[in-house]
Chain A
Amino acid sequence: MSAHSTHAYTGEAPKVWPAKVNQIPKEVFGDAALFEEELKKIFYGDTWHAVGHAAEVPNIGDFKTFDLGRVPLLIARGKDNQVRVFFNSCTHRGNQLETSVSGNRKEFECPYHRWLFSLDGTLAACPGSKEFAPDFKQENFGLAEIKTEQFLGLIMVTMGNPPPLKEWIGESGLPTLTALLGGDGRLKLLGYQKVRYASNWKGYNDNDGYHAPLLHTGFRLLNWQGGKGFQRMTENGHVIFEAELKPATGNGFLKDPSLIAFKGSNPERGSVITQLFPMTVMTKHMDVINLRFAIARSHEVTEVHYAYFAHEDDSEELVQHRIRQSSNLLGPCGMVSMEDAAIFQRIHIGNQTPGFAEFQKGVTSLTEIPMDVKQNDETGNLPRWEHYRKVMGFKREGEQ
């Protein structure tokens, strides 16, 4: 097969994946039927998904709602200070229990027939229960919980049977994620930026180590160079990225260079990213702590809740600095991230064409999935694509 041969665009998932490891069939970005398969195999499959951080619900009775694919979730802190993740569905006839995005409640009441649930999910009251079915037992009708594990407050859920969370993240990723979560996960919520991108979730998730100095003119104008660092991948599709932070001078371009000052204490880990399969991106860049909770809405819509945090031990001054830096730097309107958002949408449009997305920077072999990748290579994404291919069950050309 020549580099220019194509799979004709059929609107169906490719039956065969190209033999060359650096080619991704563009068909996978525009296929509504494939999205249904991805929901089953990935979003409801044997994978952990980040849905929040405990710091988003700091007080007893605090809750937030979120979705895993199309499954509505209710995350609540109980009287025992435990954060639980329920299906946001009344155990009677399935009515959506909580309609608010967030808030604080003493209990959750379903308005339909007034079943009442405690913060820990227990069914506390259900009017007319004397006439319920003969096998009805109130204690069996507490809110159903989705399987949950936490890492330093990061709340991960799954509908399948993945390995235990730490094992699934991998030993090699835990120190970076720990640093990202402030060392101990004692975070304080600063707020959100929420946005929908007209992009397939895999396009949203395919940003690379190659683009940064090229796409983002701001880095050059501000004389903002990346320090030494590494990119590390796991077989199950995670990418861990760390780089030293070199202070940016601003180069006289900014009237207010204080915005890009670094006031934290660990420049050797100044820029840190943990990207967990399938689509959770978390970053600590300068003094910004940003967890991006993403929802694959459809094959062409990806919703991202950028949640920003301070650390509980921060001085007032550092919190204030984090607020202004976080607001202006890395979100859907951020100084060095608006362009990424534009690319998510442009790459989605461009990918509705025949042929392959061609990875080049850092490719040393056409047959081996690269696991040794340099900081500014785009090959760090290939192990994730390989994991995706396997989970989805696509055979490589020539494979039996």
Chain B
Amino acid sequence: MSQAITAAHTSAIDALHTAYVAALDQGDMAAWAATFAVADETSYFCISAENDRRGLPLALMYDDCRGRIDDRVSFVTKVWVGTYQPYRTRHFIQRLSCESAGNNQYRVTSGFMIMMTPEGGATTILTSGEYRDLIEIQGEGDNARAVFRERRTVYDADVLPRYIVFPF
């Protein structure tokens, strides 16, 4: 755990966070999925702080394998189209901690806030929360690239202010 993080790894992790935010803020679900590893054991969970705190396993989004992540993209882009009221988001992230987990992997936590603007409406806060990530660095040196092996999004809102289309 004491092994110091290299500048290349730090900037790869920064770039991953940026890519994630850019994908969602542009509503680009394929780009969102591309921030995750292609390995089957890759997961995205989005769970309320209440469930998380109480040890209740139920989530708002429970993608416990790579196939589920791809299926979420299909639902947002192919199935739900035309039914929901569009909204745009702005994600803001603040990294809180980063620790080596060995094997070129890092446990990273960040605070986040998501602003939401419904089409034709004013901007409000959708929710804030914490990202708890297992990030893997693939490739070496200048080619080092970071991907999520696991992103656990714990959102603060005890009651969400609307129904949800996009991942947090």
9-residue interface stretch from A335-343, A353-361, A362-370? A335-343
Interface size class of A (residues with CB under 8 A): 35 or more
State A215–B79 Cα separation when bound (angstroms): 10
Do A256 and B57 contact each other (CB < 8 Å), given the known contacts A328-B62, A338-B163, A342-B85? no
- A146 in contact (CB, < 8 A): no
Contact in complex: B84, A342 (CB < 8 Å)? yes
CA distance A114 to B60 in the complex (A): 39
Instruction: Please tell me if the beta carbons of A333 and B165 are within 8 angstroms of each other in the complex.
Output: yes
Closest to A346 in B: B85
Q: Which of A210-265 contact B (CB under 8 A)?
A: 215, 217-218, 221, 253-256, 259
Q: Which residues of B contact A323 (CB under 8 A)?
A: 57-59, 62
Q: A193-B58, A193-B60, A259-B68 are in contact. Are A342 and B50 (CB under 8 A)?
A: no
Q: Is the pair B65, A256 in contact by a Cβ cutoff of 8 Å?
A: yes
Per-residue CB proximity of A325-338 to B under 8 Å, as 1/0?
01110011101001
Please state if A221 and B78 are interface contacts (CB–CB under 8 Å).
yes
Number of interface residues of B (CB under 8 A): 36
Q: Do the beta carbons of B67 and A327 come within 8 Å of each other?
A: no
Q: Which residue of B lies closest to A341 (CB)?
A: B163
CB-contact partner of A194 in B48, B61, B71, B79, under 8 A: B48
The distance in angstroms between the C-alpha atoms of A345 and B161, with both chains bound, is 12
Residue of B48, B57, B85, B159 touching A303 (CB-CB under 8 A): B159
Closest B residue by C-beta to A255 = B67
Note all chain A residues with C-beta closer than 8 A to B28.
none
The 8 closest A-B pairs by CB, nearest first: A191-B58, A191-B56, A256-B67, A341-B163, A327-B62, A255-B67, A333-B164, A191-B51
A-B contact pairs, 22 of them (CB 8 A): A189-B56, A191-B48, A191-B57, A192-B48, A192-B51, A195-B159, A195-B160, A197-B162, A198-B162, A217-B80, A218-B75, A255-B70, A255-B71, A256-B65, A324-B62, A327-B58, A332-B164, A333-B60, A333-B163, A333-B165, A338-B83, A341-B163
Minimum Cβ distance to chain A for residue B74 (Å): 7
A44 touches B (CB below 8 Å):
no
Nearest-neighbor residue (CB-CB) of A218 within chain B: B79
Q: A190 contacts B56, CB within 8 Å?
A: yes
